[in-house]
Structure 1
Amino acid sequence: MKKPSTGRVTRLGACAAVAGLVTVGLTAAPALADSDQLWVNASPWQLVLPKASDAGPQPAPTTLSLSLSHDNVANQVVDGRLTVDISGLAGIAEVTWPENCAPAGTTAVCSVAEVPASGNDSTVKVPVTVRAAVGAAVGASGRISYQATATTTTGEQLTAGENWTDVRVASGPDLSVAALPPSTGVAPGATVPVPVSAVNKGDQPANGVQVTYYVTRGLTLDGLAPQCVSAPAGEGEGPIHPVTKIDCAYDVVVAPGETFALPSPVTATVAAYGLYERVDVGVQARDGAEDLQPEDNGTVKAVTVTNTADFAVRGARLTAAAGETVTAQVTFRNRGPAWVANLSSGEPVGRVDVTVPPGATATAVPDACEPRTADGGWWESEVRTGAPRYLCNLPIWVAEKQTVALPFQLRIDTVVTGAKGAVVLTPPYGTEPLPFDPNPANDKARIVLNPAA
């Protein structure tokens, strides 16, 4: 059973940026509270190695990042033993082991003292370096296989399913982009550096370099080369576009082992409405040559701004006779000053929980609203109307001063004087308050039918 691996970065340019990206889940939650599963994680999920030189300097080795994880956060898992079998690499590649691995012939047992729960720790536990063997031809391929065991502190023995990494020898450039550290606590109007560099770890030169930026709306890049071209990425709302794509072409040759760097510094200036911002950077050769390891061709500069966004909801007060249908216009508004965007995760910026007033029936509801039972449970009926409660997803991004209308058509079955239904703004998941919202008092409202005189 091979567990999917995630790439090093989630890139906005991989699909329509406005739709957002949902990071691939590594595993489902365990079916039973006391069950658990051990996993071997490998990044990248496959290795493409530059062909070794017959004479002279060799291409830089490639790092295969291995780690162990387990599912159940309630368990503490220790004494991880990762067995790495490289017998499938004979004549194809050579391996250098880290200190926590004990090699014996074509296998090594690597120790991981404490195994983290999936998603809780991305620290690389077993960095193995691999390079093509001298004489290995382009196209030669092999496989690295893994087995693993670990023990819970209650004494349960865990065993990982089958896992492996395919290895192939190829020839071409391999532009590996240097990581960009995040910037936090940045004030609106401030500027942060966005240096871009990439080393060619391949065996062939990169004849020309293309740098592509995907920049969220709250940032403006300064210092770009004159030949850079920008355009909105994905769909926006009117004149507002959440992401801008910028392409910059450089006529340079980056030989194997050399590093490409921008000819002049590039910086990002934070707008007054900035909050959770990012610049996704991708670098590739311009001559159409296949990059040997595209997983390391990109990185992300995350910028967290010290700012707030006052989210608020509004209900409605309506008067109607029995048998009549009225529209309760529930509204959400971002009072700013910041916009809010979850472009990386694709999650809504929040949800609006709407309870239908007594004596009324919802006969038409917004598409973004899911029916629920009165206590918030799943609504079993295939018909979306008629539920006593609705949970409405807001968009994955909202501009400052943006309003989202959520019209509910309510049929008055029985006139109940002063019948009240609740409108409550909630986070997209969980119960923690929205960290950027400075005024939780306006996160609640009411739908009132036939208020008392």
Structure 2
Amino acid sequence: MATLSLGAAAPALAAEPAFPLGGPSAQVLQPYPDSGASKERSLRYDLAYVGPGNSFPGEFTVTVDLTKVAGVASVRLDPAKPRPNCTTSATAIVCKQQGLSVGTGGNGNSFDLLVSAAKDSKNGASGEIAVTGKVTGASVTPVTTKLTVGGPDLHLGELKLRADVTAGEQQDLPLAFANRGTLPAKSVALELDASAGLEPAETYDNCRRQDHGGMGATTVCLVEGEFLPGESYQLAPDSPLHLKTTERGYQDRLRYGVVPDPAPSKDAPEDKPATGKKLKLVKASAAVPVTDSNLDPRNARRAENTDLNPGDNERSFEFTARGARADFEAVTASPSGKVGDTVVAELGFRNKGPAVISHLRSGQSVARTDIVMPAGVQVTDVPRNCRAVSIDGSERAEQLGAPRYFCDGGLFADVPGTYADRFAMKIEKAVANAKGSVTVGEPVAGGTKPLAFDPVAGNAQAAFVVEVKGGTSPSPSTSASASPSPSASASASATPTASSSTTAAGATGGNLASTGSSVGPLALGALAAVAVGGALYVGVRRRSGGHA
């Protein structure tokens, strides 16, 4: 019999890769109706690629075991999202896939199922589908989904709030909901998704806050209990909630919701009492009226796995802060070089606050940067959010070599945040006293006008000068901002930029953004789900080019 020596000289065996299967841990199903077809719900499973490299060869086999849901649920592949190489039987669905890679388009690494309550199934009946996988040379981490016939149907009551607010004021948030479902909820997560100018006034030990930088924060409160069908619930008198408007307010939104039986998070922080108080719920003195949510059902999906009708679990309300102020300061630069050199300059504006300016509601730019080039330079590369104009502000077809540029400031300006556009320009000749300018303001025909919310008009314009070595060039005026400060520079190393080029000929233009937070903005209403303290849903959208 041959033996293998495992001495010190033997090479270590590399651990085989493990590819995780992702999918929901639970799904509630509408009970089978007395007439008509049972309502189907969609389940998606993803086979995730985990390096090294970009791909793994071999044939993957994914199996959906249906034996434990017999008589409870009907399960089939979604015909609207077909996959090749799949077979279906009464006990299993088996799909084969050749290889696994990063960024596979379409349904390459995913498959979709449609599930519904089985005929003659009983309210409260449950079973599990187990999804497993195998491939030679690697392991596949399985996932299990519990299917339950019936479930909670939490309907969130509409809040009657004041839309016109001022910094420092508070208003009551009397959250209430009704369970219109067929089963009780064992716990609920109350969610407040507030933009930058709004925040809850109270803190409770069973609430968790996730900050989103300039885009605000999400607060989720997990309340244990039994919330029965046919009953309505409201905040207990000794644990109220109030919404406060801060000096960062401008145009804000509160999105509020309730999620039954949220999935626990493995990464949830340890529960450490801080205030000694907990947010509590009690039976409501009156039934919560049933009215339609003001959100698009396609965007109201936080409770889609644990609520029979997730479209009525969320609502939103928009606010406008009276007297909001934000100081927009022009940002200039002082590049230098010899005649014939190509240099770059980052030109734009910074928001010195206090208000975070957001035009996500209107879709209009928060500001325009009007850049006049000094004589003697020729622009060779233009940022993608800037357009060339003639010196009088009229339209111009040719984008390179223009005397003036208008740059779109985007829909969002954080505090502190610098939004600068990188221009590349060739020094063609030295011109005595050549001086351009950078002006930030509200877009109008032919240029800009002062921003209505900006209380400091004197710093909205700055001189822009290119120093010609061996030539004659003036210095910027003392009132001009010579370059972005190190703490908020658009090229600060802590913030990713839209362009990696920083020098000379062929430099790539781009809009750069730097903020005082390491968390980029997100668009409210487009949140990804992450559980914290039971369920904290956090969406973070990275900023590219200073646009949220």
**TM-score, length basis structure 2:** 0.43
Q: Give 1:438's aligned residue.
A: 455
Count of equivalent residues: 285
Q: Secondary structure at the match of 1:295?
A: helix
The one-letter amino acid paired with 1:198 is F
Partner Cα separation in structure 1 for residue 312 and residue 444 of structure 2: 31
Q: CA deviation at 1:252?
A: 2.7
- Structure 1 residue 412 corresponds to structure 2 residue 420: no
Does structure 1 conserve the Cα–Cα contact (< 8 Å) formed by 2:189 and 2:262?
A: no
Q: Distance in 2 between matches of 1:256 and 1:52?
A: 18
Residue 155 of structure 2 aligns with which residue? 176
The answer on whether the counterparts of 1:181 and 1:301 sit within 8 Å (CA) in structure 2 is no
Partner residue, 1:304: 320
Which residue number corresponds to residue 333 of structure 1? 350
Partner of 1:218: 197
Amino acid paired to 2:209: S
Structure number with the bigger relative contact order (C-alpha 8 A, sep ≥ 6) is 1
In the alignment, structure 1 segments of 5+ residues that lack a partner are: 1-47, 55-135, 139-169
Structure 2 residue 278 is the aligned partner of structure 1 residue 261: no
- Is 1:228 paired with 2:207? yes
Give the structure 2 partner of residue 12 of structure 1: none
Q: Work out the CA distance in 2 between the residues paired with 1:425 and 1:218.
A: 23
1:394 aligns with 2:409: yes
Partners in 2 of 1:216 and 1:205 — Cα distance? 32
Asked if the contact 2:348/2:369 (under 8 Å) is kept, the reply is no
1:8 maps to none
Q: Please give the residue correspondences for 1:14-413 in structure 2 after superposition, counting only pairs within 5 Å.
A: 171-233=150-212, 236=213, 242-263=215-236, 264-286=239-261, 290-306=306-322, 307-315=324-332, 322-342=339-359, 349-364=366-381, 369-374=385-390, 377=395, 386=401, 388-394=403-409, 396-413=411-428
C-alpha contact 2:249 2:356 (8 A) present in aligned 1: yes
2:134 alignment partner in structure 1:
none
Give the superposition deviation at 1:221.
Answer: 1.4
Percent identity, aligned pairs only, is: 30
Shift of 1:261: 1.8
Q: Which amino acid aligns with 1:210?
A: A
User: 1:352 is matched by which residue type in structure 2?
Assistant: T
Separation in 1, partners of 2:33, 2:444:
50
* RMSD of aligned alpha carbons: 4.1
Residues 174, 201 of structure 1: 8 Å contact kept: yes
Letter in 1 for 2:194: V
Q: Secondary structure at the match of 1:183?
A: coil
Partner of 1:103: none
Distance 1:275 1:51, change over 3 A: farther
Per-residue CA shift, 1:145-173, capped at 9, x if unaligned?
Answer: xxxxxxxxxxxxxxxxxxxxxxxxx9433
Return the alpha-carbon distance in structure 1 between the equivalents of residues 168 and 31 of structure 2: 44
Q: Within 2, Cα distance between the matches of 1:332 and 1:364?
A: 20
Change (3 A) 1:221 1:452: closer
The 1:219–1:452 alpha-carbon spacing in structure 2 relative to 1, beyond 3 Å, is closer
Whether the 8 Å CA contact 1:319–1:451 is kept in 2: the answer is no
Question: Unpaired runs of 5+ in structure 2?
Answer: 1-28, 36-118, 122-148, 264-304, 467-471, 476-548
Seen in structure 2, the aligned counterparts of structure 1 residues 452 and 230 have a Cα distance that, compared at 3 Å, is: closer
* Alpha carbons 1:323, 1:411 under 8 Å: kept: yes
Q: Is the 8 A contact 2:327 2:351 kept in 1?
A: yes
SS in structure 1 opposite 2:311?
helix
Residue 308 of structure 1, CA deviation: 0.8
Deviations 1:276-315 (CA, angstroms, capped at 9, x unpaired): 3333212111167642332221122434323211212144
Between the aligned partners of 1:401 and 1:287, the Cα distance in structure 2 is: 35
Q: Partners in 2 of 1:352 and 1:321 — Cα distance?
A: 27
**C-alpha contact (below 8 Å) 1:51/1:203 kept by paired residues:** no
SS in 2 for 1:199: strand
Q: Which residue number corresponds to residue 67 of structure 1?
A: none
Post-superposition offset of 1:267 = 1.0
One-letter code of the match for 1:276? Q
- Scaled by the length of structure 1, the TM-score of the pair is 0.51
Distance 1:52 1:336 in 2: 56
